[in-house]
Structure formats: C-alpha cells, structure tokens
Amino acid sequence: MQRYFIELSYKGTPYFGWQRQPSCISVQEVIESQLSKLHSNEPISVVGCGRTDTGVHAHHYILHVDLPEIDDCDKFQFKLNRMLPDSIAISRVFPVSSDLHARFSATERTYRYFIHREKNPFIPETSWYFPQDLDFDAMNVAACLLIGTKDFTSLSKIHTDVKTNICSVSAAKWLQNEKEIYFEITANRFLRNMVRATVGTLIDVGLEKIKPEDLLAILDAKDRGAASTSVPAQGLFLWKIKYDGL
C-alpha cells in the first residue's frame, strides 16, 4: 500500500462538517464512498488535516489515504472529480512517505473569515452580511494581541476532548476593500469554534462595545463566557495548510 496526499477544496454548505457522522452527510463520507467505488467497493478510510464544522468551507484541505499504487495520479484525480459532487473539487493527488500524516504532520494552518458590507444575493453561503460601521483600526490593534503562544480557553467551545488549549498564533489581521472585509489568522493549531469566537469578539471591538486591550483580560479569564458570541459559520474558510518540505 502507498500513502497519498489528496489536495482538495469544498463548499461546506451541504454538509454537517468534515467528519463522518452517524446520521448526517459529511465531506469525509462522500469522499470515502467514491474512493471505495474506484476500488471494487472495498471500504476506504481517509484521514483529514482537521475538522470543519457544519457549513464551514475549505479553500485548501489535505487528506491522506493508503491505497494500492496508482499508475497515473492525474487520471485518478480526473476520475474522482467526475464522481464527486460540484461542492467538492480535487486539485492534486500525489504519493508521500508513510510517516506523513495529514493532521499531525501539518505545521501551520490559516483561516479566513469573510464579511460583506453590501447586500449581495450571490454570496450569502460563503460570506456574512454585516452592514454596520466598524472601527477597522481598533480591530487590528486587538488582533495583534492574539499573536504569541497563549491559552485560548476563552475563545474555545467548552467540553472538548483536547489535552491543551495552548495555541501559537503567528499572524492575525483584518484586510478590507470597498465592499468586503476578511479576517486572517495563522497558528500551529486551532481549537473548536476558536476562529468564529475570535471574530465575534473582534467585531465587538469594532462596534466599540469593548476596547482592544480588553482582549487580554478575556484571554486571562480562561472562560468562554468572557468572550463574545461566535459569528455564523458561512463566512469561515480553512484557507491554507502547510507542511515542512511540501
């Protein structure tokens, strides 16, 4: 058996997240089902680079799978794309060493959260409509306070099964144009709901409900109740996964 990385993107709107669910459709289930059809209906299991929640999208996602050797990866990619729904697109299939792991070998992850300021009927599933005025500079001051190795318990979903809530954030910033703004954050790892809770808290900074420096006290509290409400799922994208040497 040969290990392969499969590079893909997906629109999360039709799915109840990445991870296979007992009674709800997931991205993982759809991909495994089609891979199985390509291998005489033998069960195929894939391992993703991380979980995304219901309605969250992936601009760049990596999974690994162990398969009999593929003669032509481009042809295999073409066949798989033909079988998958329009909401999932495979961009690359390539062999890797057996010790590379889609989740645990990833060294860096980047998320983006998109907000549109003018009503637009074409993007409500991939961006959050938020027409209120925001103090963009204050939001970026607060975003800078996220950078570093910190405990992000206050910005995490409670009662998760992780061993630690410590994450190392290397970049966090807001960018804008005339009609759209987005938040981009890069870290070694993320907690459940962390980006959506972070964006919601930074939005409250932009609305002048809290001050930028209040973010430090929110993090120190280690209490989800100290932070703001999470923003809706549809604006969130897993944007980029990085691996050393790839």
Query: Which active-site residues does the annotation give?
Result: 53
- CA dist 90 and 43 (Å) reads 20
Bridge partners (DSSP) listed for residue 114: 182
> By the 8 A CB rule, do 58 and 233 touch?
no
Sign of CA dihedral 176, 51, 205, 216: negative
> By the 8 A CB rule, do 144 and 213 touch?
no
DSSP state of 61: E
Give the side-chain half-sphere CA count within 13 A for 47: 15
DSSP state of 54: T
